[in-house]
Amino acid sequence: MTVIVLSGPVGAGKSSLTSILSKYLGTKPFYESVDDNPVLPLFYKDPQKYTYLLQLFFLNTRFHSIKKALSDDNNVLDRSIYEDSLFFHMNADIGRANKLEIQTYDELLDSMMKELDRMPKKHPDLLVHIHVSYETMINRIQKRGRSYEQLTFDPGLEDYYKRMLRYYHQWYEDYDYSPKMVLDGDKYDFMASQSDREEVLAEITAKLKQMGKLPKNWQAGEIARKAIEIGQ
């Protein structure tokens, strides 16, 4: 069983790469609830009011997803519980959570992580982090068109997004739950370019092969080639 978790800021292409990678490896994708998330649009309208509720919603769904993934067969997650604290504490640092909320959140997350430590498979096998610049991030946010994510919806999102990129740098440095690797999301447009997709998939499979973690019975056959060609 091989569990791969993806990470990266808003607009990095995690869901797209999850789809491409899961088809290429013949594994199961786990997608985070975004478009059907009832709290997310409320958060963008009033982050001061809804930060705590949003993070509890995400923490709950990410906890159930990682438990299922660690108990399931081979799979890929487009975001995981390991990133959750980054978002909550980033918002807390700009005054969107009080001391009691911070304490409650930290205690709940700690309890969840201790429960994961009691599972037969305790951690993912590989973290694939997609690094993007602010310019690439904004370009992809604009392309996917969610109104509440746009700078025109709230000019204050510029500072929020730039802060997010800074927090991700330190988060990746500190991450130690599994082996990890970085993809250059500025260099590789794996969503639009077949050659870039091939490069990215080659990097990931080379890392998995080095670790002895390529899914059993996997080979770069017809399904894998179609995943590269389709890319979605």
User: With bands split at pLDDT 50, 70 and 90, how would you rate the model's confidence at 57?
Assistant: very high
Catalytic residue positions?
A: 78
Does an H or E element contain 183, and which?
Answer: strand 180-184
- Whether residue 224 is predicted with pLDDT greater than 90 in this model: the reply is no
Residue type (1 letter), 53: L
Of all residues in the chain, the percent with pLDDT exceeding 70 is 92
Query: Please, which residues bridge with residue 216 across strands?
Result: none
pLDDT of residue 30: 94
In this structure, are residues 73 and 27 in contact, taking their beta carbons and an 8 Å threshold? yes
The domains located in the chain, with CATH, are: 10-211 (3.40.50.300)
- Whether residue 232 is predicted with pLDDT greater than 50 in this model: the reply is no
Q: If you average pLDDT over each of 4-8, 149-153, 210-214, which comes out highest?
A: 4-8
- Whether residue 13 is predicted with pLDDT greater than 90 in this model: the reply is yes
Q: Consult the annotation and say whether 12 binds a ligand.
A: yes
**Which tops the pLDDT comparison, 87 or 74?**
87
- Whether residue 183 is predicted with pLDDT greater than 70 in this model: the reply is yes
Average pLDDT, the chain: 91
pLDDT of residue 162: 97
Q: Consult the annotation and say whether 219 binds a ligand.
A: no
- Whether residue 150 is predicted with pLDDT greater than 80 in this model: the reply is yes
Question: Which two structure tokens, joined as six digits, stand for 180?
Answer: 């990890």
Q: Consult the annotation and say whether 161 binds a ligand.
A: no
In this structure, are residues 128 and 204 in contact, taking their beta carbons and an 8 Å threshold? yes
Q: Consult the annotation and say whether 82 binds a ligand.
A: no
**Residues contacting residue 176 through CB under 8 Å, at least 6 positions apart:** none
Helix 14-25 and helix 222-230, axial crossing angle in degrees, nearest 10: 160
Q: Consult the annotation and say whether 146 binds a ligand.
A: no
Distance CA(59)–CA(39), nearest Å, equals 13
Torsion of Cα atoms, 24 then 27 then 28 then 34, to 10°: -40
Distance CA(166)–CA(185), nearest Å, equals 16
| Average pLDDT score over residue span 18-43 | 88
